[in-house]
Amino acid sequence: MAPSDMIVQKFPHLFEPFVIPPVHLKNRITMAPLFTAYGHGDGTVSQLTLEHYKEVATGGVAMIVVANTVVDPSGTLSKHSLRADDDRFLPGLTRLAKTIKGQGSAAVLQINHGGRFARGKTLYAPSSVPIRDIDIGGFYKSALKSLDIQEQWAILSKAIQHPLPKEMSVADIERIITAYAKAAARARKAGFDMVEIHGGTGYLPVQFLSCRTNKRKDRYGGVLENRMRFPIELTQAIKDAVGSDFPVGYRFLADEWLPDGFSLDEAKVFAQRLSVLGVAYLSVTGGTYESFSLPEVAKKSHEPGYMVYLARQIKEVVGLPVITAGRIVTPDLAEEILRERKADLIGLARPLFADPRWPQKARTGQEDAIVHCEDCGTCFQLIVADRPALCSQWDKAKLVKRKAMIKEKQNPTKKILVATDGSENATMGAAYVGDMLANRKDITVTILHIQTEESTKNEAGMREMMNIARSFLVKAGIPEEAITIEVRKRKGGIARDILDEMAAGGYGTIVVGRRGISKAEQFLFGSVSNKIVQNAKDSTVWVVG
């Protein structure tokens, strides 16, 4: 017997393959969603997002659930959330799915609407229940304890000023359900293997399920049958949008852990309904923002496998694959849960954040070398403060690298995109960059041309202009290796294509020439530079000419 076979036999259940039809999983370890605030400020996928998920996928996990992607701007929880509410997010999401799958993990996109916990002026919720009426003060207090007092106050005062949520009209409900369905369809289009509805933590689907937040008198409120209507309709709409061969999973709240909240008995009925709808799996959790701060809940959540009993009870009433998460720190505990058939799959959020190689180490008999999550709360405190997550268990080298990437993400002016159509003005844009940033060694410049029918006919001339642009930069002392030339085929409008490229590449500055098309055409359609000035977000636009 080969040594690796013997090693796998130490955790035979953990390394047994599994199928969520039609997706094959190489083992039973999944990454439970862990929001990191690594996205760009405009909701696009950053280099840091790619780096993070690639590292996790390389560590041997069978499936990764990418956390908390926005289905509609009204449901955004953080300015760093990834978004799937428009086709312009497709290039980044496609890159992300490819990155994860390229390392042999299945890629799942979790989609969410924050409802009354979202940011923004109009908050949508089943009922107009003010947030301050509900005791989340304790939650914030414990989550923020390591921040300095001024920062705590800034975050708390923002929470207190949360506007009163608007009771959703039936038209609002239909619009948001459509947004979920469209986002799910985009996940499929981007190449994800599955989509996961975020039905935990107190977000919109839970707000409908819980009597605490749902006071409606219409068919979406009152008895359980009515409170289940919104999540059931949205699950059905998603299934219709993605097709029967594309798995739709559900992050499932099995108990709100509040005396008058959504209970385990109700959750069992809801689980059965989701099963009939053909949901692919249930990823079972307990608690919401409103119960996390209760002393008994806080105490319980430090215990290893604290949510396994919920998974087991839900598994008893449905025939669906069940994922359990929650301080499953060691491979021994994970193996025991599977051996005793308490769940079918293991979800690791913080353990994989602390050590992405957890699965690989368990498989190769190096489980003693696993760097364990110490439950210190650092990752959580940072994201509550809307800052990118870090882990106190990372070694110095990783911490330094991550901090540098975070800095780069937050200060991306160093990545410059010079868009050129081969005109003199556009080429002068490169000279202008050279003048402004002469001898800077900390920038990278990409000279981008979106190919049109016209420019394809004059490819040699176009290349020449791009090389002239490059030579201006080199003459200005910008290192040659920091300059790239990219030619892309036109997909939509030129301005839209440039903006997509900009968002996908995380460029902080874009340089465009003002000219090009005839005055009449400009009058009718608007110029490329005007469109870029109007639509570029979180970046600087230089218009030359």
Q: Which residues have a catalytic role annotated?
A: 203
> Is position 35 an interface residue for ligand FMN (rule: CB under 6 A)?
yes
Given the complex with ligand FMN, which of 308 and 405 has the nearer CB atom?
308
Per-residue x/- marks for ligand FMN, 196-235, CB under 6 A? Answer: --x-xx----------------------------------
75 close to 118: Cβ distance less than 8 angstroms: yes
Smallest gap from residue 121 Cβ to ligand FMN (A): 23
Among 32-40, 101-109, 417-425, 497-505, the segment contacting ligand FMN (CB under 6 A) = 32-40
Smallest gap from residue 348 Cβ to ligand FMN (A): 5
Smallest gap from residue 337 Cβ to ligand FMN (A): 12
Among 33-41, 117-125, 167-175, 446-454, the segment contacting ligand FMN (CB under 6 A) = 33-41
> Which residue type is seen at 242?
V
**Rounded to whole angstroms, how far apart are CA atoms 100 and 156?**
36
Per-residue x/- marks for ligand FMN, 237-256, CB under 6 A? Answer: --------------x-----
Q: Sign (positive/negative) of CA torsion 97, 99, 101, 107? A: negative
**Rounded to whole angstroms, how far apart are CA atoms 455 and 453?**
6
112 close to 69: Cβ distance less than 8 angstroms: yes
> Is position 305 an interface residue for ligand FMN (rule: CB under 6 A)?
no
Among 132-140, 325-333, 359-367, 436-444, the segment contacting ligand FMN (CB under 6 A) = 325-333
Given the complex with ligand FMN, which of 106 and 325 has the nearer CB atom?
325
Given the complex with ligand FMN, which of 91 and 200 has the nearer CB atom?
200
SS3 270: helix
**Rounded to whole angstroms, how far apart are CA atoms 381 and 375?**
12
**Rounded to whole angstroms, how far apart are CA atoms 473 and 483?**
8
> Is position 34 an interface residue for ligand FMN (rule: CB under 6 A)?
yes
Smallest gap from residue 76 Cβ to ligand FMN (A): 13
Smallest gap from residue 379 Cβ to ligand FMN (A): 4
Smallest gap from residue 489 Cβ to ligand FMN (A): 35
Burial of 414 (0-12, 13-18, 19+ CB in 10 A): middle
> Is position 379 an interface residue for ligand FMN (rule: CB under 6 A)?
yes
Burial of 263 (0-12, 13-18, 19+ CB in 10 A): middle
- Which residue in 325, 334, 448, 536 binds ligand FMN (CB under 6 A)? 325
Query: Other CB atoms closer than 10 Å to residue 444's CB: what's the count?
Result: 16
- Which residue in 67, 176, 320, 334 binds ligand FMN (CB under 6 A)? 67
* β-sheet bridge partners, residue 88: none
70's CB contacts (< 8 A; 6+ apart) are 43, 76, 77, 81, 82, 83, 84, 85, 111, 112, 113, 183
**Rounded to whole angstroms, how far apart are CA atoms 321 and 398?**
35
Nearest to 181 by CA among 164, 163, 167, 195: 195
248's CB contacts (< 8 A; 6+ apart) are 184, 194, 195, 196, 197, 235, 238, 239, 242, 278, 279, 280
| Tokens matching residue 380 | 């959580």
Please work out, in degrees rounded to the nearest 5, the angle formed at the alpha carbon of residue 300 by the alpha carbons of 299 and 305. 140
> Is position 83 an interface residue for ligand FMN (rule: CB under 6 A)?
no
> Is position 331 an interface residue for ligand FMN (rule: CB under 6 A)?
no
- Which residue in 25, 32, 318, 354 binds ligand FMN (CB under 6 A)? 32
Given the complex with ligand FMN, which of 327 and 449 has the nearer CB atom?
327
Given the complex with ligand FMN, which of 206 and 405 has the nearer CB atom?
206
> Footprint of ligand FMN on residues 342-361 (CB under 6 A)?
348-351
Given the complex with ligand FMN, which of 80 and 182 has the nearer CB atom?
80
Given the complex with ligand FMN, which of 35 and 53 has the nearer CB atom?
35
> Is position 116 an interface residue for ligand FMN (rule: CB under 6 A)?
no
Where is 204: in which H helix or E strand? helix 204-209
Smallest gap from residue 352 Cβ to ligand FMN (A): 8
Given the complex with ligand FMN, which of 68 and 207 has the nearer CB atom?
68
Please work out the total of residues on this chain that contact ligand FMN, with binding judged by CB under 6 A. Answer: 23
> Footprint of ligand FMN on residues 383-412 (CB under 6 A)?
383, 389
> Is position 380 an interface residue for ligand FMN (rule: CB under 6 A)?
yes
Q: Which residue has the tokens 């862990």?
A: 34
Given the complex with ligand FMN, which of 251 and 496 has the nearer CB atom?
251
> Is position 531 an interface residue for ligand FMN (rule: CB under 6 A)?
no
Residue 292: half-sphere exposure toward Cβ, Cα within 13 Å = 15
Q: Which residue has the tokens 């959330």?
A: 81
The binding site for ligand FMN (CB under 6 A) comprises 32-35, 67-68, 110, 198, 200-201, 251, 285, 325-327, 348-351, 379-380, 383, 389
